[in-house]
Structure formats: C-alpha cells, structure tokens
Amino acid sequence: MLYELLGFILFTKNLGCVETFMGQFKDYKILTVGLVFLVLLFCLMMPWSEPIMRWLPRSYPTSECISETINWDSLPQELSNLTNLLYWPPTGVHRNDFLASTSPKTSTYHLKGPAQANYILGSNLEAVLVAKDHQGRPKAHGGDLFRAQLLGPELRAGVPGKVKDLENGTYLLSFPLLWAGWARVQVRLIHSSEAVGVLQRVWREKRATVDFRGYFRGTDGSEETVVCNVDPQSTGAKGPTCQYKDVVSGEIWFCAQPPTLPCNSLVGHSSGSYLKVTTSHDEALLARNVTDQKLPSRVPPILVLRAARGNMSNIALPSRPPCRPGHLSPKPSGFYHQDRWHSTFCSSRSFPTVDSILNCLAGRIVYMMGDSTLRQWWEYLRDKVPSLKPVDLHVTYQAGPLMAVETTRGTVLHWRAHSWPLRALRTPVASLHSVARELHGLAGGPYTVVVLGMGAHFTTFPPSIFARRLAGIRAAVKALLDREPSTLVIIKLANTGYKSVYGSDWITLQVNRLLRAAFAGLRVAFVDAWEMTSSLDVPDSIHPKELIVRNEVELFLSFICPT
C-alpha cells in the first residue's frame, strides 16, 4: 500500500516537487525521514483524518475564487430562485435628475370612494395613493417603498396597512378596522423608487459593503491585523488569502494572509470599515429629507363603531386557536390596542407578572441564537425577572455566550451571536459558533426551546450569502425536529430600523422573504417583528423600545405556554 501511495505521489502534477525530494534518499537518514513523512501523509489521507483536515485553514491566491457547492435540495424550491422570490416592481429608468424622483411632499393619497360618517368594526378601509416627483408630476412607474398605518393614538392602537403597487405610479392602500373608536391613516415614504434602485444595485452587485478585522497572534506574542470578509476579493488582499471552513455548516470565511504569521494563528475578530459604494447622486436619493418622511394627509380621522348586533367587544378578534408552531400567519399578523399586541392567527396571551413568566419558563432551557435584536429578549427577561440571575462567563458581551439561570424553577436562558459576518467589538474567534453547529449539538426535547433571529448583519452582502447560510441552518433545524419533534423552534423575523445603503428597510423586507421561504414546510413558529415594529407611530430603531420588546417576548411565551 505504501508503494502504491508513493507511486501516486510521484505522478501527481501538483506534488511534482516530491520527485526532487525523493532523489535525495541515497542517505539512510534522509530515507528514514522521507518514509516517516509518507506514512504521516498516508494517515492524513485515510477517512478518519477528514474532520481534522477540514478544520485546517488553507491559503488561496486572491485571484482564485473558491467554488462552493450549495445543497439547494435542502431548501424549498422557491428559495433556490432568488429572482422570483425577491421580485420587486420595476423602478423605472434612472436618470441623474433628483427632481424626477418620488417626493414625500407632493405625493398624495385619498379615500377610495366617498367618505362615510362612520365605519363598521371588522370591515376594511381603502385609499388610493398617487406618487409624484418633486415638481408635482405623477409618476408613470412603481417601485417606491411606502409604509401605511392605521393609528388610534388615544387608544394606543395601530395596525399596518397593505400597500399594493399597481406599477403605474398608483398604489392601493387597504386597512382592516380592528378596533372601535377613532382612527387615522398615516403614510410614509420610506424610499423613493429611485432610491430603491440604488439599494437593488448595491445589494445585488457589490460583494460587500463592509469589511472586518482578523487578529493573528504568534507564539512569541506578536500580533498582525488584516482585513477579512465573506469572499477572497472583499478582503482586498494582493496576495494569498486564508480560508476558514466550519466543519458542520460548511460556512466559509476569508482573511488576507498575514505578512509573517500562519493562517492558523487567527485568534480575534471585530468589525472593520464601511466601504464607499455610492455616488453623490445616490446619496441625495437616500438623504434624510426624502427618506422615511410623512406624506401630507387629506384623509380626515374616521370613527369605527361596533355592529348593532353581535359581538360587543371593542376589538375585532374572531375565535383563534392556541399559538402553536406550523400556523401560517396572515397579513396583518396582528395589531396593537391599549399597548398590547393581539395576534390575528392565534390566541396570544399576556404575561403581566413575574410569576406568570416564571411559571411559563419553568423547567425550560431556552437557546437564543442570532443578533442583538434577539439579545433584547434575553435582556428583557433578565431585567423583568429578579430571580433570573445572569452568570458572568467573562466573554465579549456583543458576541456572548450569555447565560441566566433561575434555580427554583429550573430555567436556563442562553443567548449567543451567530458567527461571521458579525459586526462587533474584538472578540475571540473561538467564541464564534455557527448556528448550524450549535443546533447539531442539541438533543432537543419537550423542555428545549430554540429561538433564531438573524438578518441585520446580512444586509451588507448580496442575497446569495444569506441564502447559503439559511441552507445550512434549515438542514440543522430539520434534523433537530426529526430526532426530537417535541422541540419548539421559533423564528424571529428582522425588524425595521436602518435607512441607509448598509442596512435599509427595503433590504430587510427581502431578508424576511428569505427567512420565511427557508423555513417553509417545517413545524416552526414565527414572531413577525417587522409588523410589530411598523404598526405604531414611533421612530424606527434597530433596537426597539421596551413596549415593543415586551410584546415580542409575550408572543414568544405564548408559543411556549399556549394555554
């Protein structure tokens, strides 16, 4: 076998240098060293060595693009076709004429049909929106991102409206009338179609709009810092790059090769720089004065009344099943009334006291994995329940892992960030565990709850990057549910917040499409953080206020304790 291996090596083009080495085997000592080398090489080629080899970082020239094989069979069919899944109405021919872009000051909306003295609870209100440019000329194409809301300020109520793009500059707005009392329509222009065109171009064509730093440390304590990213080209390396592949998920990360230190000396990771990806015209289209701006309203407040007969409730909520995974959430998925979120597809519960929260979480081990918007859930529960004590694990807070325990009820809450591409302060590379890797390490069961919340850190890369990540995570979730169907898995959708080319609400909408499609067909539950953060007249924030976080957590608890 050894001679066959030797012959293979001698005739392999990529290892032609071994022939020169073998020519020196006249000396017995050199021959001994050579045989030892061959035996070690033989061992590394055996099947048991594969896990070791897959963890070893390798060096690649910058010009060489690693081709990744994606197992799209593990995903729903619609996710493999990003063109159809992420369809957006055409945004028109883009010219360098700012005045021709959609304006929040001149665009108008009015009720569809004649105004009524009052409206009936449970019916719908419709309006028509006409997009116009800065000179008041009606637009001939769609593609704008408008957000419509029906608000009840006195009742602390709100619901998102449906915006249908007719693709001719006109939009049909529809609002369900879900509470009795006064309500008013509000419409905001989040991004003009021209700004959406900028976001589309950057999101789909740029490899990355941010970079990261990798910290390497030698055995003598010396350090070298390089640029890292999701592909070799985005590291900006002029020479070879180091590749790091997760043995479980297949996720790949690249760093420019350090000047002197080896690839396997990578010890730290942090955020890097935001890259310049826009022109001055692009920036004018994304400026604050035309982004996330209210349209002037010509629709007076309306009065919604209960029907003369039937249900005497002040809100329109039909009989709904308990909150369980597998339910398809309609649009809207819920609404606020008296500061409480009411789900429209399941009977969400309120958990107003510490005891009600503890009773629900008793005996549960909760694993939260994702970004800082999910960490807010962990923080809310830590702060709301005094007996839930955090454990200092001496880690970088932005990356985790974080843990809190309640010993009398047997509750454990974990949170940790997803792995690369994580924007964070410097953190040890050893702390960056892929979500798929963590899921494969869970036994699952009726007392295990898994919450996944990702999206915000993937808006700076093309959609294929997030789709690849979701491929591995879906496979891991499916494997977990196959081995322990009683495991509860909850997906937190990404919420509103950013309004720039690096992270925009328009990109977040596409991210949520990917999330829904990736987990379609699996028995998981969704918490629609997008609608929960876009239903009230409050400023958008990537980290929502406690009112919204509380309602997100209570919906999450409703899936753990549906009755």
Is the pLDDT at 421 greater than 70? The verdict is yes
Angle at the Cα of 524 from the Cα atoms of 523 and 529, rounded to 5 degrees: 155
Whether residue 453 is predicted with pLDDT greater than 60 in this model: the reply is yes
Question: Do 188 and 147 form a contact (C-beta atoms < 8 A)?
Answer: yes
Q: Which two tokens stand for residue 204?
A: 């789909």
Give the pair of three-digit tokens for residue 381: 């529960």
290 pLDDT more than 90: yes
Q: For residues 155 and 177, give the distance between their C-alpha atoms in angstroms, rounded to a whole number.
A: 13
Residues 6+ apart with CB under 8 A from 172: 112, 126, 127, 128, 129, 163, 164, 166
Per-residue pLDDT, averaged over 287-311, amounts to 89
The b-or-e profile of 467-502 (16+ CB within 10 A means b, else e) is bbbbbbbbbbbbbbbeeeeebbbbbbbbbbbbbbbb
Q: Which of 54-63, 234-243, 424-433 has the lowest mean pLDDT?
A: 54-63
> Hunting for tokens 């909760």 — which residue is that?
366
Q: How far is CA 151 from CA 2, 25, 292, 552, in A?
A: 78, 85, 17, 19
Across residues 466-470, what is the average pLDDT?
91
Q: For the CA atoms of the chain, what is the radius of gyration?
A: 28
Q: List Cβ neighbours of 353 (8 Å cut-off, separation of 6 or more).
A: none
Three-state DSSP class for 38? Answer: helix
Largest Cα span, the chain: 105
Residue 228 contacts residue 57 (beta carbons within 8 Å): no
pLDDT at 46 over 60: no
Residue 20 has pLDDT above 60, yes or no: no
Lowest mean pLDDT among 56-65, 116-125, 269-278: 56-65
Say what percent of the chain tops pLDDT 70. Answer: 85
Going by C-alpha positions, the residue among 212, 201, 191 that lies closest to residue 274 is 212
**Taking 50 as the threshold, does the pLDDT of residue 28 lie above it?**
no
Residue-level pLDDT at 64: 28
Q: What is the pLDDT of residues 166-193, one digit of tens each?
A: 999 999 999 999 999 999 999 999 999 9
pLDDT value of position 78: 56
pLDDT of the residue at 5: 34
According to DSSP, the residues that pair with 343 across neighbouring strands are 334
C-alpha to C-alpha distance for 300 and 104, rounded to whole angstroms: 19
- Give the integer Cα–Cα distance in Å for 177 and 174: 10
Query: What type of residue is 107?
Result: S
| pLDDT value at 310 more than 80 | no
- Cα dihedral 307, 327, 505, 167 in deg (nearest 10): -70
Please state, in angstroms and rounded to a whole number, the distance separating the CA atoms of residues 479 and 474. 8
Q: Which domains does the chain have, with CATH numbers?
A: 2-45 (no CATH), 55-71+210-274 (no CATH), 98-199+283-305 (2.60.40.10), 334-560 (3.40.50.1110)
CA-to-CA distance for 247 and 250, rounded, in angstroms? 6
Find the mean pLDDT for residues 43-59: 37
The predicted structure's pLDDT at residue 31: 39
**pLDDT value of residue 460:** 95
* pLDDT greater at residue 81 or residue 404: 404
Q: Which two tokens stand for residue 508?
A: 């977040």
Closest C-alpha to 372, from 499, 273, 225, 495: 495
Neighbours of 186 (CB within 10 A): 16
Percent of the chain, pLDDT > 90?
76
Identify the band that residue 311 occupies on the pLDDT scale cut at 50, 70 and 90.
low
At 478-507, the pLDDT tens digits run 999 999 999 999 999 999 999 999 999 999
Of the listed ranges 48-62, 80-94, 171-185, the least confidently predicted one is 48-62
**Mean pLDDT, the chain, integer:** 87
| Whether pLDDT at 48 is above 80 | no
pLDDT given at position 116: 87
User: What pLDDT shows up at residue 424?
Assistant: 93
Q: How far is the C-alpha of 347 from the C-alpha of 317, rounded, in Å?
A: 9
For the record, the structure tokens of 444 come out as: 């699952």
pLDDT band at 6 (very low <50, low <70, confident <90, very high): very low
The reported pLDDT for the residue numbered 328 is 76
Q: What is the pLDDT of residue 29?
A: 40
Asked if pLDDT for residue 84 goes beyond 90, the answer is no
In this predicted structure, what is the pLDDT of residue 80? 66
pLDDT surpassing 60 at residue 71: no
